[in-house]
Every structure is written in structure tokens, then in C-alpha cells.
């Protein structure tokens, strides 16, 4: 149910379609989003643009928060910090968001973004931020 | 000269083309990037995705740093924090990056992102981060 | 009136007394706090500890937010990011906090911390964060 | 050996003594620092000041980085972000810093700060930041 709600919301995020992202997994307080490194998602050296890691990390964290919210709520990012650890090179990127502390007014979240190359995965970005519930 | 170098680098960032972004202005230690809110750049409520503000804010800040670097250098984002102040609604978004403190190893930068609607402009995001020089 | 309220609250912050900090100025949406670099406020090389810059920057930002709040409210720091630009060396440190965007649920703030040596001042830290109103 | 080096450096940080902090544990890539909530470390409501959580979280993260550095290096905080999750109430605070990614130029770190009350521990702050090596 919550998974369907999240998939419906995700389907309306045209930015996710533009980036070729999809939801890989939904759990209680955690969501994983994957995206290829499309030809149109790169920076000047041909590797994934930081905004791609941000986009899927932020969305994974936001939907992780949403898994713990009442059915009539949505969340918005209040703030997000990203540390970029390594260039985004590989077959695809995979971001897992996680709720660290749920709350009525603020939800503290983190996300890890990995670059996947065959069987190997490498941590390339770490995010830490705050989601706020919004009524819809 | 530096402006040409920045425009050449920007032209190779396919993510910027995907988002419809272009360089509006280049000064010493400051760069402004504009982008429309394309149909493919939105979140689930139809307003600009946070990743759009991040993408142009981060790039404006990075190129602002590049204006102060030697000709054989480039910069990469080490970390960036974004506070989102208001929904991204308007005709277009405009991000101005600025160098706060140049350095040999770390360049501290900020960026402001405005949503422009006709003659009105509204601050919608504030970024603060660190660029690192990379040899190319 | 608001100034008195802020001075009363500040007087109860024993951490500020421990660090020798005092309020230098209160304006609408802005507060300045100064502190000496006490012998007990240093890191291993004898310069000001990062926590001193954080402490006065965070407090200046928090009280800046408080200047715009109703009389029965207080604020708490939800999150704060600090970039350290230069070592904290000088006669004293001075932090000026500023409200970027007031709000009913979130107040976005920044602060700049300067090291003052005679007539010279040097920017040593930049903070950007979020305050939340709390009822008391 | 590394533990002795860290304890020697820590002993020179007068801010740590002012706050009553001590090193509880040193491992490879991780350091734990504890501190009581001294009468002089509080905010206006009598709970631990955010700067106390920042001080021990930042120091734990910095010393965690130092455990992986060559003997003639030290580290400095380039930037640090803290999310405050709950008021600092309890018998003492305990911060554990951890290296997420070591590097020659940048070391990415995190820290968790817990408030300990008897046998109970509560996560009250989460930090994510960047340390830079400095030659001494």
C-alpha cells in the first residue's frame, strides 16, 4: 500500500523519468532508487554529474521518510548536504535512503549512493538532511 | 578568455543541456546560470525538482571557482549543502555562484537560486560548499 | 524589548559565559556575538577551537531568528553547517547571525565569524542552517 | 602508538578540558569521546548546548581521521554539518567518530552523539564532514 503510494508519487516526478531513475526497493523507513548514467546526465569529463547523485539520493531519502508518514501527507526537502567521495563511473548508480529519526515536524534522513560496475559497488556520495511533512 | 574556457567546459556538461541550462553571466569569482523549469525537470506537484536548483546552483558555484583558477586546472565539488526556502515556481530559475574564499587546496563557495516570474524574483535556495582543484 | 528578551535568554546560556561570549549588537533579524579566545577555548595548536566559532556563530544565528519571533516563542537549532576558512587567530572572534528567510515552521539563517586583530578583520567561518520555533 | 599520539594531541586541546571531555576509545578509523553536561555547558533551558555536541562530535571525527594518517600529519576540520535530533539531556554525552573515506587530500567523516542516562542511550546528533591533512 505504502509502496503503491510511493510508486504513484514517483511516477509523477518527471525529473526521475528524465534521469531514467526507477524505484528498486521499498521498506519500512528505507527506499532504494537506481539510475543509469545516461548520455545526458554527465559533467564535462563524461562521468555522472553531481546533480544525478543528488537527485536520486535526495529522492530516496524523501521517499524513505514518506514510508513512515500518514496516508494524507507528503514530504519536502528542507535541506540536504552531500559529500561526494568518488567520481560517478560505472554501469549505474544506486541510492538508498534511510530515516534516522522520524518526527511530527522534521524527519532526519541519510542516503548513500553507490556506483555499480558488474559485481563491484563503490560508495560515491553520502547525504544527510531534513524532510518536512506537508499536507496535500 | 576565462569566459570562453568556462563556456567550453559548460558545453560538455550534458546534464546542463538536459536541463536546458545556459550561462547568463561570467565575472571574476562569480558565474550566473539560468534554466527554464522544463516539463521534464519537475517533482510530483509540478514545481521544479530540488535537483534542478541543486544542479544549477552547484554548477554556478563550481564555475565561479574556476574563474579564479590557473588555465590548466579544473574543479570538482567536494561537498555542497542546499537549504530550500520556497517551491520552484516561475518562468525560470537563476543561480548565481560566488567564491567566498579561494585557496590552493579548497575553494569555499556559495550560490543563491532565484525563481523569476515576470519582473519578480524570489530566493528559493541557498547553497554553501567546497570545491577542490583537480589537474587535467 | 526584544533586545532585553535576547539578553535575558543569553544570560541563561552558561556555555556562553564559559566561553566569555557577550552580545555586541541586536538588530531586526540580526545579532552579533563576540568572544575572546580564552586559554580554555583552544585546539591543539593554540588557536581557537572550531567549537568556539560554531558556538558563537550558531548562537548569533539563533538569536537573529528570535528577533523575528512572537514573545512567547523560542528557537532551537535543527541543523547547522559550518565551513572553516582560516585558523581562529586574533584578539577576539565576532559572529554576526542573519535571518535569510523567516517562517512559521522553519527559519533559515546564516552567520559569518570574523577574527579581529587590531583594526583588521578576517572571515574565518561561514555557517548556514535552520532554526525551528519551540513554544515555552 | 597511534592511541598515544591521539591522547597527547587531545591533552593539548584546552577546549576539551573546559568541557570535561575525555577519550573513551580509539580504534582504527574510529574514536569515541565522552563528556559530562557540566553546569557551564548548557543553553538557556538547562540542557546541553548544541556547541557541546558539536565540540565532541567534531573532535571524535577529527581524531578518527588521525588514526589513519602518517605520524607527521595532523588534520583540521574543513567543514562539518550537524543535525540535532533531540535535546541533550542525560548523565553524559558520548560521540563516536568514524572515517567513511580516507584520502590523501580529503577525509570524509561522520559522528554520532548519544545522550546516556543510566543504561539507556539516545541518539541526539548526527554529524557529516570533511577533514584535511595538515603538515606539522
Per residue in A23-70, pLDDT (tens digit) is 999 999 999 999 999 999 999 999 999 999 999 999 999 999 999 998
Distance of alpha carbon B24 from alpha carbon B97, whole angstroms: 12
Task: Report yes or no: C85 at the B interface, CB cutoff 8 Å.
Answer: yes
- Does the pLDDT of residue C136 top 70, yes or no? no
| pLDDT for B66 | 96
Span D57-84, pLDDT tens digits: 999 999 999 999 988 889 999 999 999 9
- Does the pLDDT of residue A94 top 70, yes or no? yes
Distance of alpha carbon C76 from alpha carbon C78, whole angstroms: 6
Per-residue HEC secondary structure of C36-71 comes to: ECCHHHECCCCCECHHHHHHHHHHHHHHHHHCCCCC
pLDDT band for position B3 (50/70/90)? very high
Span B75-123, pLDDT tens digits: 999 999 999 999 999 999 999 999 999 999 999 999 999 999 999 999 9
Task: Report yes or no: B132 at the D interface, CB cutoff 8 Å.
Answer: yes
Q: Do D130 and B130 touch (CB under 8 A)?
A: yes
Give the distance from residue A111's alpha carbon to the nearest chain D alpha carbon, in angstroms: 12
CA A7 → CA A3, A13, A36, A135, D22, distances in Å?
6, 10, 18, 19, 48
Give the distance from residue A119's alpha carbon to the nearest chain C alpha carbon, in angstroms: 36
Do residues C62 and C75 make contact, with C-beta atoms less than 8 angstroms apart? yes
| pLDDT for B136 | 65
ipTM confidence: 0.96
Interface B:D, Cβ pairs < 8 A: 16
Q: Do D128 and A81 touch (CB under 8 A)?
A: yes
- Does the pLDDT of residue A111 top 90, yes or no? yes
Residue D31 corresponds to which cell in the numbers above?
Answer: 574514536
pTM (two decimals):
0.97
DSSP string for D26-48: EETTEEEEEEE--GGGB-TTSSB
Do residues B56 and B95 make contact, with C-beta atoms less than 8 angstroms apart? yes
Q: Do C128 and B83 touch (CB under 8 A)?
A: yes
Span C16-63, pLDDT tens digits: 999 999 999 999 999 999 999 999 999 999 999 999 999 999 999 999
- Does the pLDDT of residue A126 top 70, yes or no? yes
Amino acid at each position: 500500500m505504502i509502496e503503491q503510494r510511493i510508486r504513484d508519487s514517483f511516477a509523477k516526478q518527471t525529473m526521475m523519468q528524465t534521469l531514467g531513475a526507477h524505484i528498486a526497493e521499498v521498506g519500512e523507513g528505507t527506499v532504494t532508487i537506481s539510475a543509469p548514467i545516461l548520455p545526458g546526465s554527465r559533467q564535462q569529463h563524461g562521468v555522472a554529474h553531481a546533480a544525478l547523485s543528488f537527485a536520486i539520493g535526495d529522492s530516496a531519502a524523501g521517499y524513505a521518510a514518506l514510508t513512515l508518514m500518514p496516508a494524507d501527507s507528503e514530504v519536502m526537502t528542507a535541506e540536504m548536504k552531500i559529500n561526494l567521495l568518488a567520481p560517478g563511473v560505472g554501469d549505474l548508480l544506486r541510492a538508498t535512503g534511510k530515516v534516522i529519526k522520524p518526527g511530527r515536524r522534521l524527519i532526519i534522513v541519510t542516503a548513500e549512493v553507490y556506483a555499480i560496475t558488474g559485481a563491484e559497488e563503490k560508495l560515491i556520495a553520502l547525504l544527510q538532511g531534513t524532510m518536512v511533512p506537508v499536507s496535500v
